[in-house]
Amino acid sequence: MPQVRVIADDGTQLGIMTTGDALMLARERGVDLIEVSPNAVPPVCRLDDYGRLRYEQNKKDREARRKAHSMELREVKLRPKIEDHDYQVKVHTAERLLFNGDKVKVTIMFRGREIAYAQQGRKLLERMATDTARFATVEREPRLEGRNMFMILSPRQDVIAAQAGGHKAQQPAVTPPRAAAGKQA
């Protein structure tokens, strides 16, 4: 009969024994013999309750899925004749989305004859890439499809991790509403 290394449910090693002896020991203790590492020499088995082990593993998997953040593709739309302040608002929106861990698709929409000036749109997208270079990388270079030009930005993980650590340490200061500050007693 082949031999297996047996570990008790409390983690202590019971030694190497034949498979039949290990099964008999499991029956005596009222637990199951679970093969933990089949590729080891000799294979490692554990004396434990299989139903409880599966329940705990499913519980850990559910918790991991709940904590996992799925990366979404969010979109920021621009026009080629955008003013500077409007552009800054769009950059801040893209920054917020990137810090949330989402990818950002920056789209420039051309209308009518604006398509003749696609180079201005490309320059605008390159400007967006340089303005967000601190916290984002260009995943897809600017590309013209039909009347829209777009590029995709993805968050840089080192900056996102540092930002997440900094936000937990600092609590934002609460400012009083303006209406309450204007009243006099």
Q: What is the pLDDT of residues 51-90, one digit of tens each?
A: 988 999 999 988 888 877 667 889 999 999 999 999 999 9
Q: How high is the pLDDT of residue 126?
A: 94
- The domain segmentation of the chain, as residue ranges, is 3-66, 73-167
Q: Do domains 3-66 and 73-167 have the same CATH topology?
A: no
My answer on whether omega of the bond before 42 falls inside 30° of 0, hence cis, is yes
Read off the pLDDT of each residue in 85-105 and give the average, rounded to a whole number.
Answer: 92
Residue written as tokens 């897809």? 140
The more confidently predicted of residues 67 and 97 is: 97
Is domain 73-167 in CATH 3.30.110.10, yes or no? yes
Handedness of CA 126, 130, 136, 137 (dihedral sign): positive
Least confident window among 10-24, 64-78, 165-179: 165-179
Q: How high is the pLDDT of residue 174?
A: 41
SS3 170: coil
Least confident window among 42-46, 53-57, 169-173: 169-173
pLDDT of 95 above 80: yes
Q: How high is the pLDDT of residue 63?
A: 87
Is domain 3-66 in CATH 3.20.20.70, yes or no? no
Q: How high is the pLDDT of residue 144?
A: 92
